A and B are shown apart, each in its own frame.
Chain A
Amino acid sequence: MLDGNAAAAEAAKLCRVQVIAAYPITPQSPVTEILSEFVEKGDLNAEYVTVESEHSALAVCCSASMVGARTFTASSSHGLAYMHEMLHWVAGTRLPVVLACVNRAIGAPWNVLNDQQDSISQRDTGWIQIYARNNQEILDSVVQAYKIAEMVYLPVMVCYDGYVLSHTEMPVDTPSQAVVDRFLPPYKPHTVLDPGNPKNYNLVTLANPRVNAEGVLCHGYMELRYLLQEALQNSAQAIASVGAEFRELFGRDYTGLLWQDRLGEAEVAIVAMGSLAMEARVAADSLRRSGLKVGVLGLRVFRPFPKSEVAQAVGHCRLVMVFDRDISYGSEGAISLEIKSALYRRRAAPVVRNFIVGLGGRDVKAREMTEAVTKSLASLKKGTPDSGHPEWICEI
């Protein structure tokens, strides 16, 4: 029995991480505590760097990764925000840092409980983002994250819901060190800091590419950023192949970028991410009992966003209900925006309804999700036009 934080820490240990730099923040703190105990007891041969802030934590991971160390950090909410510029920096340097984000609401006002606004707010930074539905997926995703990251040279953020998963114990199958060693080869950095062959990394670029001291016309800013996007687009393939390899060695299948439950004949699709995707299945079961053909789309990989897979999975539905535990203020839920984008060119695309739920740890009940589906179907039947804004479900 492991809680989410213990699962994440266990995975980092199994992956033989070499440098850990993390700053505690609720609800992530136990991850840092458990890992520091592993290092202290000698169970994990790693350098644990006690830093004074999350910005420094990621800066340390960045440098350590550049000299070839496998690194790990974890944060939440304000801590993740504090390292924001370094998130951009790590992605731009193409470093395979793995970060566990224990999803927590961000202030103002203060709130230490769960929603996904923190990691959602970082979706533009160039990190791969994987969301776990339960503690087994947390452990498995961190292990896969290193393999994916080191294959494609992209940082990976493994996100899981604060308290709901981080502080809740569930049965977790912990693989043996031997099988993880078979799965994960040593890290081969693309950056080498060697005094014998000195290099500058991340030098200033100008608007246009310029010739270097050896007379070679090198990539400018836009070219390097293009390569980052290209790598993210292509990483979907790596994520799937690593998932297949994981299935072979560990017995659990992660070949899909999405979790699809009975969507084949579904008229209504419920879309959710993280632990809410498990709640959504309870709601779907209840609706199915009343004769409705409902399926669930659990978003596993948020970045790179699997547009074609989503279109394939729910494009045939009449209604897609997106439950966001976040909101892009001034617009709508971030997941809803992505779903709509994925369905854009689809002829006879489904109606997409967006619901903002569970902010600041407010509980989301399956009953509320089923009621939302029933109400939406009724309003569709009546021909009630969409307000164009997301609907908030805030019942206590």
Chain B
Amino acid sequence: MGTSDCGHICGESSPGVGEAGRTGEWRTSRPVVDNRKCTPARKGVPMCFLCWLYCPEAVIAKTVPPRVDMEYCKGCGICAEVCPSHAIDMVEEAGFVP
């Protein structure tokens, strides 16, 4: 039938990273964190992480500083919108080398 039959009669999958494919390819702009403004980055302490909390795709890691997984980040801009320190800018994807 054009696919290697995975034996399902309805849409079924196991949860896993990248289940929807390389959604990073959908981006037209990407979040860039300014570590001089980002609170956990400045203080060197795990804290805030509102960007992690609000990211609908769970592609931000609660590291110091927070790290965005560009393989899957869709560039929705919610993290930039919610950051209380305005530490995140959405920058045109065209400016970055693939």
Residues of A within 8 A of B (CB): 92-94, 153, 190-191, 197-205, 209-214, 216-220, 223-224, 226-227, 231
Contact = CB atoms under 8 A, between A and B. Distances in A.
Interface stretch (B6-14, B48-56, B62-70, B87-95): B6-14
Nearest to B18: A213
16 contacts: A93-B11, A190-B9, A199-B15, A201-B10, A202-B10, A203-B19, A205-B11, A212-B6, A212-B14, A212-B16, A213-B19, A214-B16, A217-B4, A218-B6, A220-B3, A231-B9
Contacts of A209: 2-3
Contact of A218 (B13, B17, B18): B13
A218 B14 contact: no
A92 B9 CA distance: 9
A218 B4 CA distance: 7
Contacts of B9: 94, 153, 190, 224, 227, 231
A211 B18 CA distance: 10
Given A204-B20, A212-B19, A226-B1, A219 B8 contact: yes
A210 B12 CA distance: 12
Given A216-B4, A217-B4, A219-B6, A224 B11 contact: yes
Nearest to B1: A223
Task: List the 5 closest pairs (A to B, CB-CB), nearest first.
Answer: A213-B16, A209-B3, A202-B11, A218-B6, A213-B19
Interface in B1-51: 1-6, 8-21
Contacts of B3: 209, 217-220, 223
A203 B19 CA distance: 10
Contacts of A93: 10-11
Contacts of A216: 4, 6
B25 to A, nearest CB: 13
SS class, residues of chain B in contact with chain A: loop
Given A210-B21, A213-B18, A191 B12 contact: yes
A97 to B, nearest CB: 13
Contacts of A204: 20
Contact of B13 (A190, A212, A220, A231): A212
A213 to B, nearest CB: 3
A137 B5 CA distance: 39
A206 B89 CA distance: 31
Contacts of A202: 10-11
B14 A219 contact: no
Nearest to B19: A213
B13 to A, nearest CB: 5
A198 B19 CA distance: 14
B23 to A, nearest CB: 11
Contact of A203 (B4, B5, B13): B13
A192 to B, nearest CB: 10
Nearest to A154: B9
B16 A219 contact: no
A214 B19 CA distance: 8
B17 A213 contact: yes
Given A200-B19, A204-B20, A210-B21, A223 B2 contact: yes
For B2, B4, B11, B17, the residue with the greatest tally of chain A CB atoms inside 10 Å of its CB is B11
Contact of B10 (A92, A197, A226): A92
A227 B9 CA distance: 7
A201 B12 CA distance: 5
A223 B3 CA distance: 8
Contacts of B14: 197-200, 212-214
B56 to A, nearest CB: 14
A94 B10 contact: yes
